[in-house]
Structure 1
Amino acid sequence: MSIKQEQYELNVLTSGLFFGEGPRWRDGKLYISDMLGKKVYTIDASGTKTVIAQMPHKPNGMGFLPNGDLILSSMHETRLYRYTPSGLELYADLCDVYTGYVGDMVIDHNGRIYVDDVGARVFEGEGLKPGRIVIVEPNGEVSVGVEDCNFPNGIVITPDQKTLVFVETFAERLSAVDIVDGKLENRRVLLDLTQVFPSPEDRARKRGCIDGICIDAEGGIWLSMLRAEQFMRINAQGQITDRIPMPGYECVACTLGGEDGKTLFMVSTKVDGDNIFEAMVNLRTETTIFTTRVEIGRGLGRP
């Protein structure tokens, strides 16, 4: 794909969530956590929302096992649950490893889960501190894959299944590690957003902060630029190819789906005030999910 800036037609799929997170597409529906609303929804093509789970400790990231089972995170109690039509079943207890909350997750083709520990309990007033990427094996074994992550967030696996890419939100960067027999090695910076948004105003407002990400068939990654009011795509070489401006919105998360995999779902949130954590605690937020059509659709990457 040549580097270009397109005009994208935006459509509203639905609104009315407090703070949408962790969107995933499967079998004709969008699955999404309303973190602050403490519910998990499916949303059909008409925008109709259906509650599939109530989660009092706040849901966040989610993913599907190879057999199709949905795994949900319970953010504040640091546990993962398997969704069943009759209720939630405990899948993994991460309390012995975590110091912060459960963030995003990605599940590989073997059923191994890579899941964020953001490091600090920021909603309870704790200052930022290093987090980690935690690995949950299919047999339930839990280990730490990467230490000293600066608020780990959006997380994907490349189409060749060889690289895990994750966001370090407040370091304003995209990092990568090699996947070697399920372990994570050779950590490196994939993209430094402080170089993309270098002005003093950008630096003061941390416009290089990334939240959720998704990956396409060419290894291109769509970035939810939290404070820069845009979604942005980079190709596999780290070059910016596309921008979708979202003035007035915090860009929180995104995923590819639709019948042909070429619909980009963009989770965009209005925040009342400059401090996003204070606004979230006081429920001064509202999420709208937009869609647009893109050239490169989903591929073999995960999720």
Structure 2
Amino acid sequence: MTVEQEQYALNELTRGLYFGESPRWRDGTLYVSDMLGKKVYAIDAAGNRRVIAEMPHKPNGMGFLPNGELILSSMHEARLYRYTPQGPELYADLSAVFTGYVGDMVIDPQGRIYVDDVGARVFEGEPLKPGRIVIVEPNGEISVGVEDCNFPNGIVITPDQKTLVFVETFAERLSAVDIVDGQLVNRRVLLDLTLLFPSPEDRARKRGCVDGISIDAEGGIWLSMLRAEQFMRISPQGEVTHRIPMPGYECVASTFGGEDGKTLFLVATKVEGDNIFEAMVNLRTETTIFTTRVAIGKGAGRP
């Protein structure tokens, strides 16, 4: 595999969030969930941030409908909300389907939402168990698209709108399904990350774990390597093409933005101790959002 030895200049945009998740860019503004801070922020190009929503049950995934409305998630309630200036407005109640928390989400050009159910309520001490990807239709109909997912996490749609790619974090892999009339079929493993991190130390620390992902105009996917202290791009053929080292940080999520779509926003978090869930429960975490410039920017992929 060929890795381009490129030096990326990292610029700090903002810091001080407890645990940033699910960054999204639209019309000159970066939106990000502070999961543990229980707030959703809008951040301008100078790094100034303002709270646009208080989410007492923890926000996570978010996305924009085709009409520009922002959809927020409420993790512990298993509900989706439409953002309004007057406050969040219920959009879909998923609690009858979910067994765990709301994770990430992606919205297709028709307004169909694909959203992760991580499967277990890990902050309350439940052991990991299979989750699923749930589909919310524009008319409000709710169905299960994929079962038996191993902690489903980052989720994107390819530029041709034909494939949904999602992370199975603790299985250390990327999986893919075809999108056929809004339904998800032909599930397969796209990339086994354990093959990229084969040493005994890598295996012990599960350095192949991925959190969020973002997809560029060529279908290349930037992986947020949670335990490997780096962001990493893979080509559509699964080859590693670029790496951005982030020593001392858990790499959580990324998204494309900026005027030309070639600014990559990187959400990176310092975590005290080896158990990330314990650190999160005890608020021993701090997120910094960085920016860097990339040659291949945002295309027709989602989000």
The Cα RMSD (Å) is 0.6
Aligned to 1:129: 129
Report the CA distance between 1:202 and its aligned residue: 0.3
**One-letter amino acid of the structure 2 residue matched with residue 128 of structure 1:** L
Cα drift, residue 5 of structure 1? 2.2
**What's the CA shift string for 1:144-176, capped at 9, x where partnerless?**
000000000000000000000000000000000
CA apart distance, 1:86: 1.2
For residues 78-157 of structure 1, the aligned pairs below 5 Å read: 78-157=78-157
Map of 2:73 onto structure 1: 73
SS at match of 1:57: coil
> Matches of residues 38-57 of structure 1 in structure 2 within 5 Å?
38-57=38-57
Q: CA deviation at 1:32?
A: 0.1
The residue number in structure 2 matching 1:302 is: 302
Aligned length: 302
Q: Where do 5+ consecutive residues of structure 1 fail to align? A: none
State the alpha-carbon separation in 2 of the partners of residues 266 and 169 from structure 1: 18
Question: Residue type matched to 1:31 in 2?
Answer: Y
Shift of 1:87: 1.2
Residue 133 of structure 1, CA deviation: 0.3
The one-letter amino acid of 2:142's match is V
Check the 8 A contact 2:175/2:188 in 1, yes or no: yes
Q: CA deviation at 1:3?
A: 4.5
Q: Give the deviation of 1:4 after TM superposition.
A: 1.3
Aligned AA (2:113): I
CA distance in 2, matches of 1:101, 1:88: 18
Amino acid at match of 1:219: G
Superposed CA deviations along residues 84-121 of structure 1, whole A, max 9, x for unmatched, are: 11111100000110000000000000000000000000
CA distance in 1, matches of 2:6, 2:94: 43
1:218 alignment counterpart: 218
Could you tell me the TM-score, scaled by structure 2's length? 0.99
Q: Distance in 2 between matches of 1:121 and 1:3?
A: 37
Alignment-derived partner of residue 31 in structure 1: 31
Query: Stretches of 4+ moved more than 4 A in 1?
Result: none
Unmatched tracts of structure 2, length 5 or more: none
What's the counterpart of residue 9 of structure 1? 9
Taking only the aligned residue pairs, the percentage that are identical comes to 85
CA distance in 1, matches of 2:5, 2:114: 33
**What is aligned with 1:59?**
59
Q: Deviations over 1:171-230 (max 9, x none)?
A: 000000000000000000001000000000000000000000000000000000000000
Report Cα offsets for 1:22-66 as digits up to 9, x if no partner. 000000010000000000000000000110000000000000000
CA distance in 1 between partners of 2:221 and 2:297 (Å): 11
The answer for the alignment partner of 2:180 in structure 1 is: 180
1:160 and 1:226 map into 2 onto residues whose CA distance is 28
Trace 1:119-268 onto structure 2 (pairs within 5 A): 119-268=119-268
